[in-house]
């Protein structure tokens, strides 16, 4: 029966990426299983060696070599000549082959099922994050977070994305960003992202309540870090500032001001800049409002 010990490492229905803490936990779990299997195999060989040495009247070291030869099914040594020795041989073959097969299945499942690939990917990403200094943390990879990430990439700055939504994993991988899967308000995950070494935190989750929790956690872990938070509701702006945010941005207010500036300014003959704001053309003044002739 195939082992299911690694099925909880990644959620196949959601494609969730394991965190660095989960990677370390799974590696420790795998090493414990490996040590247990090797210890069981060693005990089996030593027990069989003792039984063979007593039954066949040979030295204990010869019994060890004989036991290893039987378990490994090498067949270079002769079969036992006594009934007790033959029973020991049967037990060694049965239990030894079963243990070796289970050990082989564990390794094959780890590699073939793709778990080792995921472990190595997260481990490499964790090592890259540990080397960052003066980077930015983007908490949330929605529309706002993706735009922030694109702007950061254009500027060539280092940043780490934290998001617990499995649906945004593919866009993050397409952009080639460093990311951690999980809640951005989790203290452990913020430390793994290197908040103590970060230059600023961008809290741009869709939920104002979550942004408040992120701000509280980030301010507690890094009192001097700059925190720029998103607020959907006007009432949340004051709460975010009280929670420790350095600046609060309302995307609705910002877009409204941008639309007002565009409406009050002359439409440029060429395309607007990437911010969506139009610059006033001095040769084309804004027409004065007047009564429409009817």
Tell how far CA 128 is from the center of its chain: 12
pLDDT tens column, 66-82: 898 888 888 788 888 88
Distance CA 160, CA 253 (A): 27
Domains of the chain: 20-118 (1.10.287.70), 133-254 (3.40.50.720)
The predicted pLDDT at position 12 comes to 40
The predicted pLDDT at position 1 comes to 40
pLDDT tens column, 189-243: 899 899 999 999 999 998 899 999 999 999 999 999 999 999 988 888 889 999 9
Among 77, 24, 26, 13, which Cα is nearest to 49's? 77
For residues 179-183, average pLDDT: 87
277, two tokens: 């704001």
Residues in the chain: 294
186, two tokens: 């989790």
Among 163, 204, 166, 167, which Cα is nearest to 183's? 163
Which of 119-128, 139-148, 170-179 has the least mean pLDDT? 119-128
Average pLDDT, the chain: 80
* Three-class DSSP category at 85: helix
Distance CA 183, CA 161 (A): 11
The predicted pLDDT at position 123 comes to 73
pTM: 0.59
pLDDT tens column, 4-60: 444 444 444 444 455 555 666 777 777 788 888 888 888 999 999 999 889 888 899
Distance CA 184, CA 245 (A): 15
């Amino acid at each position: 029966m195939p082992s299911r010990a690694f099925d909880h490492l990644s959620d196949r229905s959601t494609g969730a990426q394991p965190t660095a803490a989960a990677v370390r936990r799974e590696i420790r779990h795998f090493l414990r299983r490996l040590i247990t299997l090797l210890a069981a195999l060693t005990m089996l060989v030593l027990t069989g060696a003792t039984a063979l040495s007593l039954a066949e009247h040979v030295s204990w070291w010869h019994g060890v070599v004989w036991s290893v030869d039987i378990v490994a099914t090498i067949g270079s040594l002769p079969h036992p000549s006594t009934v007790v020795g033959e029973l020991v041989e049967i037990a060694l073959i049965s239990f030894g082959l079963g243990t070796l097969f289970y050990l082989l299945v564990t390794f094959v499942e780890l590699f073939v099922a793709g778990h080792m690939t995921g472990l190595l990917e997260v481990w490499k990403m964790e090592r890259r994050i540990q080397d960052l200094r003066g980077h930015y943390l983007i908490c949330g990879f929605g529309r706002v977070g993706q735009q922030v990430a694109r702007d950061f990439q254009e500027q060539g700055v280092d940043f780490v994305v934290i998001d617990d939504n499995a649906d945004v994993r593919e866009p993050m991988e397409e952009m080639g960003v460093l990311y951690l899967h999980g809640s951005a308000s989790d203290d452990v995950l913020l430390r793994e992202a290197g908040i103590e070494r970060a230059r600023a935190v961008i809290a741009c989750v869709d939920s104002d309540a979550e942004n408040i929790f992120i701000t509280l956690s980030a301010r507690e872990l890094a009192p001097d870090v700059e925190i720029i938070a998103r607020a959907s509701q006007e009432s949340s702006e004051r709460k975010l500032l009280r929670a420790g945010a350095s600046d609060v941005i309302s995307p609705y207010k910002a877009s409204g001001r941008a639309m007002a500036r565009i409406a009050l300014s002359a439409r440029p003959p060429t395309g607007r800049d990437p911010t969506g704001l139009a610059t006033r053309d001095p040769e084309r003044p804004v027409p004065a409002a007047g009564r429409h002739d009817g």
